[in-house]
Amino acid sequence: MLSAQLKSYLAEMNMSATELQQKQLIGFVEMLNKWNKAYNLTSVRDPEQMLIRHVMDSLTVSPYLEGQRFIDVGTGPGLPGIPLAIMNPDKQFVLLDSLGKRIRFQKQVQFELKINNITSIESRVEAYNPDIKFDGVLSRAFASIQDMLSWCHHLPTEKGTFYALKGQLNQQELDEMPTGFSLVETIILHVPKLDEQRHLLKIAKQ
């Protein structure tokens, strides 16, 4: 059931995935559903809705990623980082979250589904100071743009990009963007079977 839906959604989004990638994406939904009963990782309870609201919602960003190294801040159970890592095996993803149970889940996903391009780190974002900076900083339902930029300003390379996944756009939030940053592009995203607004904001350091 889920695999047929996944195939249909990928086709609708003009995305191609190998058999292995499709198995990993479905495996991720199944593990999220199983762990969710005990650990309450997401408010979404239905696997079909998890596929739409978590996996497909995350994958809409995939065509816009530029570079090799990405960090997903406030990743929760690994969103959007794990679906993006599955679809982009040539790129590296660091998944950052401050809650241990979420990190344990991510590590189990990595182990069971054999995803080799993710690294899970338990830390608050302000306290995480990596030696090598990132081409892209991803956040999905993490914080206001202002908070994201002030907390994560130290993470991208000089030419790195912030990728903020948003629902409805808040003009006041955009107007209050901290100095030293500029909005490069606003992209309207379309998620199959989801009748809600989705936007991707690409922000750069000036």
Residue 200 assigned ligand-binding role: no
Q: How far is CA 118 from CA 1, 84, 111, 121, in A?
A: 28, 10, 10, 10
Q: Which helix (H) or strand (E) holds 142?
A: none
Residue 140 assigned ligand-binding role: yes
**C-alpha to C-alpha distance for 148 and 164, rounded to whole angstroms:** 8
Residue 74 assigned ligand-binding role: yes
Please report, to the nearest 10 degrees, the dihedral formed by the alpha carbons of residues 132, 137, 142, 146 taken in order: 100
Residue 67 assigned ligand-binding role: no
**C-alpha to C-alpha distance for 95 and 72, rounded to whole angstroms:** 5
Residue 125 assigned ligand-binding role: yes
DSSP 6-23: HHHHHHHTT----HHHHH
Cite the annotated binding site by residue number.
Answer: 74, 79, 125-126, 140
Cite the annotated binding site for S-adenosyl-L-methionine by residue number.
Answer: 74, 79, 125-126, 140
